[in-house]
Chain A
Amino acid sequence: LAKTTQPISMDSYEGQEVNITCSHNNIATNDYITWYQQFPSQGPRFIIQGYKTKVTNEVASLFIPADRKSSTLSLPRVSLSDTAVYYCLVANDYKLSFGAGTTVTVRA
């Protein structure tokens, strides 16, 4: 299983862009990279998934360099409601390894 490493916490202000980088040095060829968001007392919620290069959806972008040893989740123009824990997951089928999570705190 690929081990993932994320920063423990990050602080930001409303309207700013937040970038969270996850390191996964021993990622396997068939592994995908997925990011989840979790609020207190709730289960994680899917944000975005990618294999290589860049993926964008309505809430975030995911940047994956050519060597795939890291990935960066980008949250544009965050609001107070984006305060949550963000998890990086590297997985192929049912071989799953969640990171410890990054607590993002957005301040007014």
Chain B
Amino acid sequence: ETGVTQTPRHLVMGMTNKKSLKCEQHLGHNAMYWYKQSAKKPLELMFVYSLEERVENNSVPSRFSPECPNSSHLFLHLHTLQPEDSALYLCASSQESAAGGSYEQYFGPGTRLTVT
């Protein structure tokens, strides 16, 4: 596998279910991101992990819980979601440098989530 992979690609869940999205990057990067992409809306940054520490959390409801066990893996745990949470969830990775700046992000194909 190369690049950034996400599983599952499609997920349908009820509002009372608990599920997890998985992301894996094979690029040796040290930062990983979760984004939400809803129809007709800009990409919304949800969480950022740098060197396995969460560095950004953009006022995301607590029903979304991220986990980064190592620099190659990122999870998004879901519970008691609402229908408006239906969206494409994208994972990305980048290589952080000490010089700072804006980093070229590599995105996965996304997980299409439908909450019924």
Question: Residues of A contacting B42 with CB < 8 Å?
Answer: 87, 98-101
Chain A residues within an 8 Å CB radius of B55: 94
Q: Are A34 and B104 in contact (CB under 8 A)?
A: yes
List of B residues within 8 angstroms of A100 by Cβ? 41-42
> Contacts A98-B42, A98-B43 given: A41-B102 contact, CB under 8 Å?
no
* Nearest chain B CB to A12 CB, angstrom units: 22
Q: For residue B43, which residues in chain A have a CB less than 8 angstroms away from its CB? A: 44, 87, 98
- Count A-B contacts at CB 8 Å: 57
State in angstroms the CA–CA spacing of A87 and B4 once bound together: 20
Q: In the complex, A92→B90 CA distance in Å? A: 20
Interface of B, helix, strand, loop or mixed by DSSP: strand
The prevalent SS among residues of A at the interface is: strand
Who on chain A is nearest to B92 by CB? A43
- Alpha-carbon distance between A36 and B94 when the two chains are bound, in angstroms: 14
Interface extent on A, as a size class?
A: 20 to 34
Which residues of A sit under 8 angstroms from B105, Cβ to Cβ?
36, 44, 46
Near A by CB (< 8 A), chain B positions 38-94 give 41-45, 48, 50, 55-56, 90-92
User: Which residues from 9 to 23 on chain A have a C-beta closer than 8 Å to any C-beta of chain B?
Assistant: none
Cα distance A23–B102 in the bound complex, in angstroms: 18
Residue numbers in B under 8 Å from A34 (CB-CB): 102, 104
Tell me if B101 and A32 are in contact (CB < 8 A). yes
A91 to B92, CA, bound (A): 15
Q: Name A's B-contacting residues (CB within 8 A).
A: 30-32, 34, 36, 41-46, 49, 87, 89, 91-96, 98-101
